[in-house]
Structure 1
Protein backbone atom coordinates (compact mmCIF):
# COMPACT_ATOMS: atom_id res chain seq x y z
CA UNK A 1 0.00 0.00 0.00
CA UNK A 2 1.30 3.43 -0.93
CA UNK A 3 1.95 5.99 1.76
CA UNK A 4 -0.32 9.06 1.49
CA UNK A 5 1.48 12.33 0.84
CA UNK A 6 -0.03 15.79 0.41
CA UNK A 7 2.09 18.20 -1.66
CA UNK A 8 2.04 21.62 -3.26
CA UNK A 9 4.34 23.09 -5.91
CA UNK A 10 5.14 26.73 -6.56
CA UNK A 11 7.70 29.18 -8.00
CA UNK A 12 8.89 26.87 -10.78
CA UNK A 13 9.96 27.81 -14.30
CA UNK A 14 7.52 28.62 -17.08
CA UNK A 15 5.89 25.45 -18.41
CA UNK A 16 6.30 23.47 -15.19
CA UNK A 17 2.89 22.20 -14.08
CA UNK A 18 2.24 23.00 -10.43
CA UNK A 19 -1.49 22.22 -10.27
CA UNK A 20 -3.33 19.30 -11.94
CA UNK A 21 -6.79 20.89 -11.65
CA UNK A 22 -8.83 20.12 -14.75
CA UNK A 23 -6.04 18.10 -16.36
CA UNK A 24 -6.19 14.42 -17.26
CA UNK A 25 -2.38 14.25 -17.44
CA UNK A 26 -0.23 15.96 -14.80
CA UNK A 27 3.16 16.53 -16.43
CA UNK A 28 5.26 17.13 -13.33
CA UNK A 29 8.51 15.18 -12.95
CA UNK A 30 8.50 15.12 -9.13
CA UNK A 31 4.86 14.07 -8.99
CA UNK A 32 5.44 11.26 -11.48
CA UNK A 33 8.52 9.85 -9.76
CA UNK A 34 7.14 10.11 -6.22
CA UNK A 35 3.84 8.54 -7.30
CA UNK A 36 5.69 5.25 -7.66
CA UNK A 37 5.94 5.15 -3.85
CA UNK A 38 3.33 7.61 -2.54
CA UNK A 39 -0.39 8.20 -2.99
CA UNK A 40 -0.12 11.91 -3.72
CA UNK A 41 -2.75 14.59 -3.41
CA UNK A 42 -2.18 18.21 -4.37
CA UNK A 43 -3.48 20.78 -1.91
CA UNK A 44 -2.99 24.42 -1.00
CA UNK A 45 -2.61 23.20 2.60
CA UNK A 46 0.09 20.56 2.04
CA UNK A 47 2.28 18.48 4.30
CA UNK A 48 5.28 19.52 2.20
CA UNK A 49 5.83 22.33 -0.29
CA UNK A 50 8.25 21.83 -3.18
CA UNK A 51 9.33 25.18 -4.60
CA UNK A 52 11.96 26.73 -6.84
CA UNK A 53 13.56 30.13 -7.50
CA UNK A 54 11.11 31.77 -9.91
CA UNK A 55 8.96 33.73 -7.47
CA UNK A 56 8.23 34.34 -3.81
CA UNK A 57 4.89 32.58 -3.37
CA UNK A 58 6.62 29.95 -1.20
CA UNK A 59 6.92 32.50 1.61
CA UNK A 60 3.21 32.33 2.40
CA UNK A 61 3.38 28.61 3.28
CA UNK A 62 4.03 27.48 6.86
CA UNK A 63 4.52 23.74 6.22
CA UNK A 64 7.94 22.06 5.79
CA UNK A 65 9.49 23.29 2.54
CA UNK A 66 11.68 21.46 0.02
CA UNK A 67 13.71 23.79 -2.18
CA UNK A 68 14.63 22.70 -5.71
CA UNK A 69 16.86 24.49 -8.19
CA UNK A 70 18.49 23.72 -11.50
CA UNK A 71 20.21 27.11 -11.37
CA UNK A 72 23.66 27.93 -10.00
CA UNK A 73 22.19 28.95 -6.63
CA UNK A 74 22.87 27.66 -3.11
CA UNK A 75 20.03 26.55 -0.80
CA UNK A 76 19.07 28.84 2.07
CA UNK A 77 18.15 26.59 4.99
CA UNK A 78 16.69 29.57 6.84
CA UNK A 79 13.85 29.49 4.30
CA UNK A 80 13.53 25.74 3.77
CA UNK A 81 13.87 22.55 5.79
CA UNK A 82 15.21 20.46 2.87
CA UNK A 83 16.79 21.08 -0.52
CA UNK A 84 17.42 19.34 -3.84
CA UNK A 85 20.16 20.90 -5.94
CA UNK A 86 23.19 19.91 -8.01
CA UNK A 87 25.60 20.68 -5.14
CA UNK A 88 27.92 18.12 -3.59
CA UNK A 89 26.68 18.93 -0.10
CA UNK A 90 27.19 16.54 2.81
CA UNK A 91 24.01 17.34 4.71
CA UNK A 92 21.09 15.06 5.62
CA UNK A 93 18.72 17.84 4.62
CA UNK A 94 20.03 17.82 1.05
CA UNK A 95 19.67 15.58 -2.01
CA UNK A 96 21.88 16.02 -5.04
CA UNK A 97 19.39 15.78 -7.93
CA UNK A 98 20.77 17.90 -10.80
CA UNK A 99 18.73 19.36 -13.63
CA UNK A 100 20.34 16.84 -16.00
CA UNK A 101 18.50 14.07 -14.11
CA UNK A 102 15.21 15.96 -14.33
CA UNK A 103 15.75 16.44 -18.08
CA UNK A 104 16.36 12.73 -18.60
CA UNK A 105 13.20 11.80 -16.73
CA UNK A 106 11.15 14.38 -18.63
CA UNK A 107 12.19 12.52 -21.78
CA UNK A 108 11.24 9.20 -20.21
CA UNK A 109 14.79 7.85 -20.17
CA UNK A 110 16.22 8.39 -16.70
CA UNK A 111 16.84 4.66 -16.31
CA UNK A 112 17.18 3.56 -19.95
CA UNK A 113 19.48 6.03 -21.70
CA UNK A 114 21.54 3.52 -23.66
CA UNK A 115 23.14 3.76 -27.08
CA UNK A 116 22.30 1.74 -30.16
CA UNK A 117 24.10 3.74 -32.80
CA UNK A 118 24.31 3.31 -36.56
CA UNK A 119 27.28 5.64 -37.01
CA UNK A 120 27.00 5.85 -40.78
CA UNK A 121 23.34 6.81 -40.50
CA UNK A 122 24.14 9.45 -37.89
CA UNK A 123 26.84 10.86 -40.15
CA UNK A 124 24.38 11.15 -43.04
CA UNK A 125 21.88 12.96 -40.82
CA UNK A 126 24.42 15.56 -39.69
CA UNK A 127 24.32 17.97 -42.60
CA UNK A 128 25.78 20.90 -40.62
CA UNK A 129 28.97 21.39 -38.62
CA UNK A 130 28.23 23.01 -35.25
CA UNK A 131 25.57 25.09 -33.51
CA UNK A 132 25.38 27.66 -30.74
CA UNK A 133 21.86 28.07 -29.30
CA UNK A 134 21.69 30.53 -26.40
CA UNK A 135 19.74 33.60 -25.34
CA UNK A 136 22.10 34.74 -22.59
CA UNK A 137 24.97 36.76 -24.12
CA UNK A 138 26.81 37.13 -20.80
CA UNK A 139 28.90 33.96 -20.77
CA UNK A 140 32.50 34.84 -21.56
CA UNK A 141 33.92 31.32 -22.01
CA UNK A 142 31.04 30.28 -24.26
CA UNK A 143 31.20 33.41 -26.38
CA UNK A 144 34.95 33.12 -26.81
CA UNK A 145 34.72 29.54 -28.08
CA UNK A 146 31.98 30.51 -30.52
CA UNK A 147 34.13 33.28 -31.97
CA UNK A 148 37.31 31.20 -32.18
CA UNK A 149 35.68 28.04 -33.57
CA UNK A 150 33.89 30.14 -36.20
CA UNK A 151 37.30 30.89 -37.72
CA UNK A 152 37.58 27.19 -38.64
CA UNK A 153 34.04 26.71 -39.96
CA UNK A 154 30.76 28.57 -39.68
CA UNK A 155 29.00 27.94 -36.37
CA UNK A 156 25.25 28.53 -36.68
CA UNK A 157 23.74 30.62 -33.89
CA UNK A 158 19.96 30.31 -33.67
CA UNK A 159 19.31 32.04 -30.35
CA UNK A 160 19.31 35.68 -29.29
CA UNK A 161 23.04 35.63 -28.55
CA UNK A 162 25.12 36.26 -31.70
CA UNK A 163 22.31 35.17 -34.01
CA UNK A 164 23.58 34.70 -37.55
CA UNK A 165 20.61 32.86 -39.07
CA UNK A 166 18.24 35.79 -39.38
CA UNK A 167 15.56 34.04 -37.32
CA UNK A 168 15.18 32.50 -33.87
CA UNK A 169 14.95 28.72 -33.61
CA UNK A 170 11.60 27.55 -32.24
CA UNK A 171 12.16 23.76 -32.31
CA UNK A 172 15.36 23.20 -30.36
CA UNK A 173 15.65 19.43 -30.76
CA UNK A 174 14.95 19.46 -34.49
CA UNK A 175 17.57 22.18 -34.87
CA UNK A 176 20.23 20.33 -32.83
CA UNK A 177 19.64 17.10 -34.74
CA UNK A 178 21.17 18.58 -37.91
CA UNK A 179 24.54 19.25 -36.32
CA UNK A 180 27.63 17.13 -35.82
CA UNK A 181 28.62 19.24 -32.80
CA UNK A 182 26.82 21.44 -30.26
CA UNK A 183 28.51 24.06 -28.10
CA UNK A 184 27.10 23.00 -24.73
CA UNK A 185 28.70 25.46 -22.32
CA UNK A 186 26.77 26.27 -19.14
CA UNK A 187 25.94 29.87 -18.20
CA UNK A 188 28.47 29.66 -15.38
CA UNK A 189 30.85 27.25 -13.68
CA UNK A 190 30.41 25.31 -10.44
CA UNK A 191 31.18 21.74 -9.27
CA UNK A 192 28.21 19.47 -9.99
CA UNK A 193 26.38 22.06 -12.12
CA UNK A 194 25.22 20.06 -15.16
CA UNK A 195 21.98 21.06 -16.88
CA UNK A 196 20.00 20.16 -19.98
CA UNK A 197 22.77 21.77 -22.05
CA UNK A 198 24.72 18.51 -21.96
CA UNK A 199 21.70 16.22 -22.26
CA UNK A 200 19.76 17.74 -25.16
CA UNK A 201 22.43 17.30 -27.86
CA UNK A 202 23.05 13.76 -26.66
CA UNK A 203 19.39 12.94 -27.26
CA UNK A 204 19.84 13.64 -30.99
CA UNK A 205 23.41 12.29 -31.37
CA UNK A 206 25.03 15.70 -31.65
CA UNK A 207 28.43 15.68 -29.92
CA UNK A 208 28.38 18.16 -27.00
CA UNK A 209 31.37 20.43 -26.54
CA UNK A 210 30.96 20.87 -22.79
CA UNK A 211 32.07 23.25 -20.03
CA UNK A 212 30.50 24.26 -16.71
CA UNK A 213 30.88 21.37 -14.27
CA UNK A 214 34.55 20.54 -13.58
CA UNK A 215 33.35 17.30 -11.93
CA UNK A 216 31.23 16.20 -14.90
CA UNK A 217 33.24 12.96 -15.06
CA UNK A 218 31.62 11.82 -11.79
CA UNK A 219 28.21 11.49 -13.51
CA UNK A 220 28.95 11.18 -17.21
CA UNK A 221 31.38 9.25 -19.39
CA UNK A 222 33.63 12.00 -20.75
CA UNK A 223 34.78 9.77 -23.61
CA UNK A 224 31.29 10.25 -25.09
CA UNK A 225 31.61 14.02 -25.59
CA UNK A 226 34.23 16.74 -25.83
CA UNK A 227 35.10 17.90 -22.32
CA UNK A 228 36.73 21.33 -22.37
CA UNK A 229 38.32 20.62 -18.99
CA UNK A 230 40.64 18.10 -20.61
CA UNK A 231 42.40 20.83 -22.61
CA UNK A 232 44.82 23.44 -21.33
CA UNK A 233 43.51 26.19 -23.60
CA UNK A 234 41.02 26.97 -26.37
CA UNK A 235 43.61 26.38 -29.08
CA UNK A 236 44.10 22.75 -28.05
CA UNK A 237 40.35 22.26 -27.65
CA UNK A 238 39.64 23.57 -31.14
CA UNK A 239 42.44 21.47 -32.63
CA UNK A 240 40.76 18.39 -31.14
CA UNK A 241 37.35 19.40 -32.51
CA UNK A 242 38.93 19.83 -35.94
CA UNK A 243 40.59 16.43 -35.67
CA UNK A 244 37.30 14.70 -34.88
CA UNK A 245 35.55 16.63 -37.64
CA UNK A 246 38.10 15.37 -40.15
CA UNK A 247 38.50 11.79 -38.91
CA UNK A 248 35.49 9.46 -39.05
CA UNK A 249 37.20 6.83 -36.90
CA UNK A 250 37.55 9.31 -34.02
CA UNK A 251 34.04 10.63 -34.59
CA UNK A 252 32.48 7.17 -34.59
CA UNK A 253 34.44 6.21 -31.47
CA UNK A 254 32.84 9.13 -29.61
CA UNK A 255 29.38 8.22 -30.88
CA UNK A 256 29.71 4.62 -29.71
CA UNK A 257 30.73 5.43 -26.14
CA UNK A 258 28.10 4.83 -23.41
CA UNK A 259 26.69 7.98 -21.87
CA UNK A 260 27.30 7.11 -18.24
CA UNK A 261 30.14 5.96 -16.09
CA UNK A 262 29.77 2.46 -14.64
CA UNK A 263 28.02 2.12 -12.30
CA UNK A 264 25.73 5.04 -13.10
CA UNK A 265 25.80 7.87 -10.59
CA UNK A 266 23.25 7.46 -7.79
CA UNK A 267 22.35 11.11 -8.27
CA UNK A 268 20.95 10.38 -11.75
CA UNK A 269 18.65 7.64 -10.46
CA UNK A 270 14.97 8.31 -9.72
CA UNK A 271 15.22 6.02 -6.68
CA UNK A 272 17.42 8.65 -5.04
CA UNK A 273 14.46 11.04 -5.04
CA UNK A 274 12.07 8.38 -3.75
CA UNK A 275 14.44 7.37 -0.93
CA UNK A 276 14.96 11.00 0.06
CA UNK A 277 11.21 11.56 0.46
CA UNK A 278 10.76 8.25 2.28
CA UNK A 279 13.24 9.51 4.84
CA UNK A 280 12.03 13.09 5.27
CA UNK A 281 8.36 12.07 5.54
CA UNK A 282 8.98 9.68 8.40
CA UNK A 283 7.32 10.81 11.66
Structure 2
Protein backbone atom coordinates (compact mmCIF):
# COMPACT_ATOMS: atom_id res chain seq x y z
CA UNK A 1 0.00 0.00 0.00
CA UNK A 2 1.38 3.40 -1.04
CA UNK A 3 1.88 6.09 1.62
CA UNK A 4 -0.40 9.12 1.47
CA UNK A 5 1.06 12.47 0.45
CA UNK A 6 -0.88 15.73 0.60
CA UNK A 7 0.28 17.84 -2.34
CA UNK A 8 -0.65 20.96 -4.28
CA UNK A 9 0.43 22.71 -7.49
CA UNK A 10 0.36 26.47 -8.09
CA UNK A 11 1.47 29.23 -10.46
CA UNK A 12 1.62 27.05 -13.57
CA UNK A 13 0.70 28.15 -17.09
CA UNK A 14 -2.92 28.78 -18.21
CA UNK A 15 -4.74 25.53 -18.99
CA UNK A 16 -2.53 23.53 -16.62
CA UNK A 17 -4.20 20.24 -15.57
CA UNK A 18 -2.72 18.82 -12.38
CA UNK A 19 -3.46 15.12 -12.89
CA UNK A 20 -2.04 15.18 -16.41
CA UNK A 21 1.21 16.79 -15.27
CA UNK A 22 4.34 14.67 -15.57
CA UNK A 23 5.55 15.31 -12.01
CA UNK A 24 2.13 14.37 -10.62
CA UNK A 25 2.12 11.13 -12.61
CA UNK A 26 5.69 10.36 -11.57
CA UNK A 27 5.01 10.85 -7.86
CA UNK A 28 1.79 8.86 -8.16
CA UNK A 29 3.95 5.78 -8.71
CA UNK A 30 5.20 6.02 -5.12
CA UNK A 31 2.45 7.87 -3.24
CA UNK A 32 -1.29 8.00 -2.97
CA UNK A 33 -1.58 11.68 -3.81
CA UNK A 34 -4.24 13.88 -2.24
CA UNK A 35 -4.67 17.39 -3.60
CA UNK A 36 -4.98 19.62 -0.55
CA UNK A 37 -5.14 23.32 0.31
CA UNK A 38 -3.04 22.43 3.35
CA UNK A 39 -0.35 20.36 1.61
CA UNK A 40 2.83 18.78 2.88
CA UNK A 41 4.51 19.55 -0.46
CA UNK A 42 3.93 22.33 -2.98
CA UNK A 43 5.20 22.20 -6.55
CA UNK A 44 4.99 25.62 -8.17
CA UNK A 45 6.12 27.45 -11.28
CA UNK A 46 6.85 31.02 -12.38
CA UNK A 47 3.44 32.31 -13.53
CA UNK A 48 2.30 33.92 -10.28
CA UNK A 49 2.93 34.35 -6.57
CA UNK A 50 0.31 32.10 -5.00
CA UNK A 51 3.11 29.86 -3.70
CA UNK A 52 3.88 32.42 -1.00
CA UNK A 53 0.76 31.52 0.98
CA UNK A 54 1.78 27.87 1.42
CA UNK A 55 3.73 27.01 4.59
CA UNK A 56 5.20 23.68 3.54
CA UNK A 57 8.04 22.15 1.54
CA UNK A 58 8.32 24.05 -1.74
CA UNK A 59 9.67 22.65 -5.01
CA UNK A 60 10.11 25.13 -7.85
CA UNK A 61 9.67 23.85 -11.41
CA UNK A 62 10.17 25.89 -14.57
CA UNK A 63 10.34 25.23 -18.30
CA UNK A 64 11.05 28.93 -18.89
CA UNK A 65 14.30 30.89 -18.85
CA UNK A 66 13.82 31.81 -15.19
CA UNK A 67 16.44 31.44 -12.48
CA UNK A 68 15.72 29.80 -9.15
CA UNK A 69 15.42 32.02 -6.09
CA UNK A 70 16.46 29.84 -3.16
CA UNK A 71 15.18 32.48 -0.76
CA UNK A 72 11.71 31.32 -1.85
CA UNK A 73 12.07 27.61 -2.43
CA UNK A 74 13.57 24.52 -0.80
CA UNK A 75 14.27 22.63 -4.03
CA UNK A 76 14.33 23.42 -7.71
CA UNK A 77 13.90 21.61 -11.03
CA UNK A 78 15.10 23.84 -13.87
CA UNK A 79 17.47 24.16 -16.83
CA UNK A 80 20.20 25.77 -14.69
CA UNK A 81 23.72 24.53 -14.11
CA UNK A 82 24.20 24.78 -10.35
CA UNK A 83 26.48 22.97 -7.93
CA UNK A 84 23.66 22.65 -5.44
CA UNK A 85 22.18 19.43 -4.11
CA UNK A 86 18.82 21.15 -3.90
CA UNK A 87 18.68 21.82 -7.64
CA UNK A 88 18.02 19.26 -10.39
CA UNK A 89 18.96 20.15 -13.96
CA UNK A 90 16.10 19.25 -16.30
CA UNK A 91 15.91 21.33 -19.49
CA UNK A 92 12.41 21.35 -20.92
CA UNK A 93 13.27 19.21 -23.95
CA UNK A 94 14.06 16.40 -21.48
CA UNK A 95 10.72 16.83 -19.72
CA UNK A 96 9.02 16.55 -23.09
CA UNK A 97 10.88 13.32 -23.88
CA UNK A 98 10.27 11.76 -20.46
CA UNK A 99 6.60 12.65 -20.07
CA UNK A 100 5.67 11.13 -23.45
CA UNK A 101 8.29 8.36 -23.51
CA UNK A 102 9.77 9.69 -26.76
CA UNK A 103 13.39 8.59 -26.46
CA UNK A 104 12.86 5.49 -28.61
CA UNK A 105 11.31 7.61 -31.36
CA UNK A 106 14.31 9.91 -31.66
CA UNK A 107 16.06 7.94 -34.36
CA UNK A 108 17.17 9.38 -37.69
CA UNK A 109 16.03 7.78 -40.94
CA UNK A 110 18.59 5.98 -43.09
CA UNK A 111 20.18 7.61 -46.13
CA UNK A 112 17.81 6.10 -48.71
CA UNK A 113 14.76 6.95 -46.60
CA UNK A 114 16.12 10.49 -46.21
CA UNK A 115 16.29 10.83 -50.00
CA UNK A 116 12.69 9.68 -50.27
CA UNK A 117 11.62 12.20 -47.64
CA UNK A 118 13.44 14.97 -49.51
CA UNK A 119 11.46 14.23 -52.68
CA UNK A 120 8.09 14.14 -50.91
CA UNK A 121 8.35 17.33 -48.85
CA UNK A 122 8.01 21.08 -49.12
CA UNK A 123 10.78 23.47 -48.12
CA UNK A 124 10.40 24.85 -44.60
CA UNK A 125 7.88 25.33 -41.77
CA UNK A 126 7.60 27.36 -38.60
CA UNK A 127 5.12 27.29 -35.71
CA UNK A 128 5.27 30.35 -33.43
CA UNK A 129 2.89 31.96 -30.96
CA UNK A 130 5.34 34.20 -29.08
CA UNK A 131 5.94 37.55 -30.87
CA UNK A 132 8.84 38.63 -28.67
CA UNK A 133 11.87 36.94 -30.27
CA UNK A 134 13.50 39.47 -32.62
CA UNK A 135 16.09 36.94 -33.85
CA UNK A 136 13.44 34.44 -34.95
CA UNK A 137 11.14 37.00 -36.54
CA UNK A 138 13.96 38.69 -38.44
CA UNK A 139 15.39 35.39 -39.70
CA UNK A 140 11.97 34.17 -40.83
CA UNK A 141 11.34 37.34 -42.83
CA UNK A 142 14.74 37.16 -44.55
CA UNK A 143 14.39 33.48 -45.46
CA UNK A 144 10.76 33.85 -46.52
CA UNK A 145 11.76 36.56 -48.98
CA UNK A 146 13.86 34.01 -50.88
CA UNK A 147 11.96 30.72 -50.40
CA UNK A 148 8.48 30.26 -48.98
CA UNK A 149 8.34 29.36 -45.30
CA UNK A 150 4.92 28.08 -44.25
CA UNK A 151 4.12 29.50 -40.82
CA UNK A 152 1.36 27.62 -39.00
CA UNK A 153 1.31 29.25 -35.57
CA UNK A 154 -0.86 32.02 -34.13
CA UNK A 155 1.84 34.60 -34.89
CA UNK A 156 3.04 35.42 -38.42
CA UNK A 157 0.62 32.84 -39.80
CA UNK A 158 0.83 32.42 -43.58
CA UNK A 159 -1.47 29.46 -44.19
CA UNK A 160 -4.88 30.90 -43.36
CA UNK A 161 -5.09 29.96 -39.68
CA UNK A 162 -3.29 28.18 -36.83
CA UNK A 163 -2.68 24.45 -37.13
CA UNK A 164 -4.11 21.91 -34.66
CA UNK A 165 -1.11 19.60 -34.25
CA UNK A 166 2.47 20.81 -34.62
CA UNK A 167 4.13 17.47 -35.45
CA UNK A 168 1.47 16.56 -38.02
CA UNK A 169 2.15 19.91 -39.70
CA UNK A 170 5.94 20.11 -39.68
CA UNK A 171 6.51 16.48 -40.77
CA UNK A 172 5.65 17.61 -44.31
CA UNK A 173 8.74 19.85 -44.53
CA UNK A 174 12.47 19.37 -45.11
CA UNK A 175 13.45 22.08 -42.60
CA UNK A 176 11.87 23.51 -39.47
CA UNK A 177 12.74 26.92 -38.00
CA UNK A 178 13.48 25.97 -34.39
CA UNK A 179 14.58 29.21 -32.76
CA UNK A 180 14.26 29.53 -28.99
CA UNK A 181 12.48 32.53 -27.47
CA UNK A 182 15.76 33.48 -25.76
CA UNK A 183 19.44 32.55 -25.83
CA UNK A 184 20.99 31.33 -22.58
CA UNK A 185 23.40 28.47 -21.71
CA UNK A 186 21.43 25.34 -20.89
CA UNK A 187 18.05 26.79 -21.89
CA UNK A 188 17.07 24.09 -24.38
CA UNK A 189 13.37 23.48 -25.03
CA UNK A 190 11.18 21.17 -27.10
CA UNK A 191 11.59 23.18 -30.33
CA UNK A 192 14.58 21.28 -31.70
CA UNK A 193 13.17 17.94 -30.51
CA UNK A 194 9.90 18.51 -32.39
CA UNK A 195 11.89 18.90 -35.61
CA UNK A 196 13.81 15.68 -34.89
CA UNK A 197 10.55 13.83 -34.19
CA UNK A 198 9.20 14.91 -37.56
CA UNK A 199 12.36 13.66 -39.35
CA UNK A 200 13.16 17.19 -40.47
CA UNK A 201 16.35 19.24 -40.22
CA UNK A 202 16.10 21.88 -37.48
CA UNK A 203 17.38 25.37 -38.20
CA UNK A 204 18.30 26.22 -34.63
CA UNK A 205 19.18 29.31 -32.61
CA UNK A 206 19.33 29.44 -28.82
CA UNK A 207 21.34 27.44 -26.31
CA UNK A 208 25.07 27.99 -27.07
CA UNK A 209 25.73 24.55 -25.51
CA UNK A 210 23.26 22.68 -27.73
CA UNK A 211 26.05 20.71 -29.45
CA UNK A 212 26.98 19.06 -26.15
CA UNK A 213 23.62 17.25 -26.27
CA UNK A 214 22.65 17.02 -29.94
CA UNK A 215 24.89 16.05 -32.86
CA UNK A 216 25.85 19.31 -34.63
CA UNK A 217 25.96 17.42 -37.96
CA UNK A 218 22.22 16.70 -37.63
CA UNK A 219 20.99 20.32 -37.62
CA UNK A 220 21.90 23.79 -38.90
CA UNK A 221 22.99 26.10 -36.10
CA UNK A 222 22.51 29.78 -36.87
CA UNK A 223 25.15 30.61 -34.25
CA UNK A 224 27.85 28.94 -36.33
CA UNK A 225 27.51 31.60 -39.04
CA UNK A 226 28.66 35.21 -39.10
CA UNK A 227 25.28 36.49 -40.25
CA UNK A 228 21.71 35.50 -41.09
CA UNK A 229 22.61 35.83 -44.75
CA UNK A 230 25.51 33.34 -44.47
CA UNK A 231 23.26 30.85 -42.71
CA UNK A 232 20.50 31.28 -45.29
CA UNK A 233 22.96 30.68 -48.13
CA UNK A 234 23.92 27.38 -46.48
CA UNK A 235 20.26 26.38 -46.09
CA UNK A 236 19.60 27.08 -49.77
CA UNK A 237 22.65 25.01 -50.79
CA UNK A 238 21.51 22.05 -48.70
CA UNK A 239 17.94 22.38 -50.01
CA UNK A 240 19.17 22.26 -53.61
CA UNK A 241 21.30 19.12 -53.09
CA UNK A 242 19.29 15.96 -52.23
CA UNK A 243 22.36 13.92 -51.28
CA UNK A 244 23.75 16.61 -49.01
CA UNK A 245 20.32 16.94 -47.39
CA UNK A 246 20.05 13.18 -46.89
CA UNK A 247 23.51 13.01 -45.34
CA UNK A 248 22.52 15.56 -42.68
CA UNK A 249 19.10 14.00 -42.03
CA UNK A 250 20.54 10.51 -41.57
CA UNK A 251 23.11 11.59 -38.95
CA UNK A 252 22.56 10.35 -35.35
CA UNK A 253 20.55 12.79 -33.24
CA UNK A 254 22.34 12.61 -29.89
CA UNK A 255 25.90 12.98 -28.73
CA UNK A 256 26.84 9.86 -26.78
CA UNK A 257 26.57 9.17 -23.92
CA UNK A 258 23.08 10.49 -23.32
CA UNK A 259 22.63 13.07 -20.54
CA UNK A 260 21.84 11.40 -17.22
CA UNK A 261 18.79 13.63 -16.73
CA UNK A 262 17.08 11.55 -19.43
CA UNK A 263 16.88 8.74 -16.84
CA UNK A 264 13.48 8.99 -15.20
CA UNK A 265 14.57 7.20 -12.02
CA UNK A 266 17.13 9.92 -11.26
CA UNK A 267 14.42 12.58 -11.26
CA UNK A 268 12.16 10.40 -9.12
CA UNK A 269 14.99 9.82 -6.63
CA UNK A 270 15.58 13.58 -6.39
CA UNK A 271 11.89 14.19 -5.69
CA UNK A 272 11.71 11.44 -3.10
CA UNK A 273 14.78 12.76 -1.27
CA UNK A 274 13.29 16.26 -1.28
CA UNK A 275 9.93 15.05 0.01
CA UNK A 276 11.63 13.21 2.88
CA UNK A 277 12.56 16.67 4.22
CA UNK A 278 8.95 17.91 4.41
CA UNK A 279 8.77 17.78 8.21
CA UNK A 280 12.02 19.61 8.85
CA UNK A 281 11.75 22.85 10.81
CA UNK A 282 14.16 24.79 8.57
CA UNK A 283 11.91 24.90 5.49
CA UNK A 284 12.15 28.16 3.51
CA UNK A 285 8.43 28.88 4.02
CA UNK A 286 9.02 29.16 7.78
CA UNK A 287 11.76 31.76 7.42
CA UNK A 288 10.92 33.53 4.15
CA UNK A 289 9.77 36.85 5.62
CA UNK A 290 12.62 37.14 8.11
CA UNK A 291 15.18 36.17 5.42
CA UNK A 292 13.72 38.72 3.00
CA UNK A 293 13.79 41.42 5.68
CA UNK A 294 17.43 40.56 6.48
CA UNK A 295 18.40 40.84 2.80
CA UNK A 296 16.66 44.20 2.50
CA UNK A 297 18.53 45.47 5.57
CA UNK A 298 21.83 44.28 4.08
CA UNK A 299 21.10 46.06 0.79
CA UNK A 300 20.31 49.31 2.64
CA UNK A 301 23.54 49.00 4.64
CA UNK A 302 25.65 48.30 1.54
CA UNK A 303 24.13 51.28 -0.28
CA UNK A 304 24.82 53.49 2.76
CA UNK A 305 28.47 52.37 2.86
CA UNK A 306 28.87 53.03 -0.87
CA UNK A 307 27.38 56.51 -0.43
CA UNK A 308 29.90 57.31 2.33
CA UNK A 309 32.76 56.33 0.05
Give the alignment's TM-score, normalised by structure 1.
0.88
SS at match of 2:20: coil
1 or 2, which has the higher helix percentage?
2
C-alpha displacement at 1:194, in angstroms?
Answer: 0.9
| Higher RCO structure, 1 or 2 (CA under 8 Å, sep 6+) | 2
Residue 133, structure 1, aligned to residue 133, structure 2: no
Cα RMSD (Å) of the superposition? Answer: 2.1
Partner of residue 253, structure 1: 247
1:100 paired with 2:111, answer no
Counterparts of 1:34 and 1:112, CA distance in 2: 25
Equivalence for 1:119: 114
Residue of structure 2 in register with 1:223 after alignment: 217
- Residue range with higher mean Cα deviation, 65-74 or 215-224: 215-224
- Pairing partner for 1:144 from 132, 138, 145: 138
Give every structure 1 segment of 4 or more consecutive aligned residues whose post-TM-superposition deviation is greater than 6 Å.
none
From 175, 179, 186, the counterpart of 1:181: 175
1:96 deviation in Å?
0.7
SS in 1 for 2:146: coil
Shift of 1:35: 4.1
Residue correspondence of structure 1 range 47-62 to structure 2 within 5 A: 47-62=40-55
The answer for the alignment partner of 2:159 in structure 1 is 165
Shift of 1:65: 0.5
Q: Distance in 1 between matches of 2:105 and 2:269?
A: 20
User: How far does the alpha carbon of each residue in 1:90-131 deviate from its partner, in whole angstroms, 9 at most, with x for none?
Assistant: 2111111111011112332246633354324422442x2112
What are the ranges of 5 or more consecutive residues in structure 2 without an aligned counterpart? Answer: 278-309
| 1:21 aligned residue | none
| Structure 1 residue 132: Cα displacement | 2.2
> Alignment partner for residue 41 of structure 1, among 33, 46, 49?
33
Equivalent-residue separation in structure 1 for 2:214 and 2:2 (angstroms): 33
* Kept after mapping to 2: 8 A contact 1:219/1:268: no
Query: Deviation per CA, 1:176-233, whole angstroms, max 9, x where unpaired?
Result: 1111111111111111111111111211112111111011122222221111222222
Partner of 2:292: none
- What's the offset of the Cα at 1:247? 1.4
Q: Classify 1:275/1:235 alpha carbon distance in 2 versus 1 (closer, same or farther; 3 Å).
A: same
Mapped partners of 1:2, 1:189: distance in 2: 42
Report the CA distance shift for 1:155/1:111 in structure 2 as closer, same or farther (over 3 A).
closer
Secondary structure in 1 aligned to 2:257?
coil
Q: Which runs of 5+ in 1 are unaligned?
A: 19-25
CA contact (8 A) 1:34 1:274 kept: yes
| 1:83 Cα offset (Å) | 0.8
Q: CA deviation at 1:149?
A: 1.1
The alpha-carbon deviation at position 266 of structure 1 amounts to 1.5
Seen in structure 2, the aligned counterparts of structure 1 residues 10 and 152 have a Cα distance that, compared at 3 Å, is: same
How many equivalent pairs are there? 274
Cα distance, 1:35–1:259 mapped onto 2, change above 3 Å = farther
